[in-house]
Amino acid sequence: MKFKTDILSLSLKELSDFIVELGEKPFRARQVFKWLHQRGSSSFDEMTDISKKLRAKLEESSNIKNVSMVEKFISKEDNTTKYLFQIENDYIIESVLMKYEYGNAVCISSQAGCAMGCSFCASTIDGLERNLTAGEMLSQVYEIGKDLKERISNIVIMGSGEPLHNFDNTIKFLELINSKDGLEVGHRHITLSTCGIVEKIKELEKMRLQITLAVSLHAPNDEIRESIMPIAKRYSIDELILAAKEYADFTKRRVTFEYALIKGVNDSVECAKELAERLKGSLCHVNLIPVNDVKERNYIRSSDETVNDFYKVLKRLNIDVTVRRKLGSDINASCGQLRKKYIGNY
């Protein structure tokens, strides 16, 4: 079978070189690029201002690896929408649309499954199936935008998978989504969430991108963190917090520390005090997340009273902190839950 180029993952320069190899003029690349990235075309036949000859060449030599919607669930509580998408090889991934006063935000997946093994997350239960291409990451945004018929203004790479474990494709995605010939979503409107691959945080830092870095911390010390996050056995909490601090100092972008509160594990007042001491003096923000119950795990979310007590301690100790609004709980909107349920039914 003839190899076909994944055209949706090509930069404008790469697409121009590809078009020239097909014997066409370089300016055709911008036309094709806009069809792919501004209009979200899923087939070459839709590109009506391009000659049939070029469309035939593209059809023969390349493909558009769009994700395809399998199911959609809309929360009756807050209109959060969960999408299940199918990708090549019949893998299932998920994305979430969240509507805010400032615009439409989507949370996308960077991998099918996840290798990180965090014990409170349903995404990790079956391990990593494969990395997503830059095009497959983009396609989640494009398909949701077409379904919504509105502009997507904010993006969070916080769905299934660890984006820094799929580093090259994630960086390519950031380049393409920001392109002036594409959706042109500003990097300041994009958040990348990582469980803490320190050397990749340092590599990302050197790129001077203006994205927001969110670090999944979830514990105030190594002992607790190692019990819930296998990656903590590789990088100490001090090493991770230092990398985040250096990232903030270098980019002048405030780092968000994600902290999922698990009943009886990491939600005590003592944990809050220890966390505040570690983060003192850092350009950071703490996002408290009452953990979602996952039936395959034994963890239970902290009570509202406990969450409030934890919040008050951090606030009193001058740590910038918020409690994440719980979205889509009636449709299993947290990472991996709906995907796991769907796969289990087939």
pLDDT greater than 80 at residue 237: yes
The whole-number average pLDDT for the span 88-103 is 93
pLDDT greater than 90 at residue 319: yes
**pLDDT of 206-215, one tens digit each?**
999 999 999 9
DSSP 84-113: EEE-GGG-EEEEEEEEETTEEEEEE-SEEE
b/e for 246-256, b at 16 or more Cβ within 10 A?
ebbeebebebb
Which range, of 82-91, 121-130, 308-317, averages the lowest pLDDT?
A: 121-130
In the annotation, is 94 catalytic? yes
**pLDDT of 43-58, one tens digit each?**
999 999 999 999 999 9
| Nearest partner of 88 among 133, 40, 127, judged by Cα | 133
- The three-state secondary structure class of 131 is strand
- Number of other residues whose CB lies within 10 A of the CB of residue 101: 4
Catalytic residue, chosen from 94, 129, 136, 258, is: 94
pLDDT greater than 60 at residue 342: no
pLDDT greater than 80 at residue 204: yes
Catalytic residue, chosen from 118, 195, 271, 335, is: 335
Question: Dihedral of the CA atoms 209, 113, 229, 220 (nearest 10)?
Answer: 40
Model confidence band, residue 76 (pLDDT cutoffs 50, 70, 90): confident
For residue 346, the model assigns a pLDDT of 42
In the annotation, is 335 catalytic? yes
pLDDT greater than 60 at residue 95: yes
Distance from C-alpha of 116 to C-alpha of 155, rounded to nearest angstrom: 22
DSSP 157-191: E-SSS-GGGGHHHHHHHHHHHT-TTTT---GGGEE
- Cα atoms found within 13 Å of the Cα of residue 141, Cβ hemisphere only: 30
Residue ranges of E strands in the chain: 5-6, 62-63, 68-74, 81-86, 92-100, 103-108, 111-113, 128-131, 154-157, 190-194, 212-216, 255-261, 284-290, 321-323
pLDDT greater than 90 at residue 294: no
Mean pLDDT of the chain: 92
Model confidence band, residue 126 (pLDDT cutoffs 50, 70, 90): confident
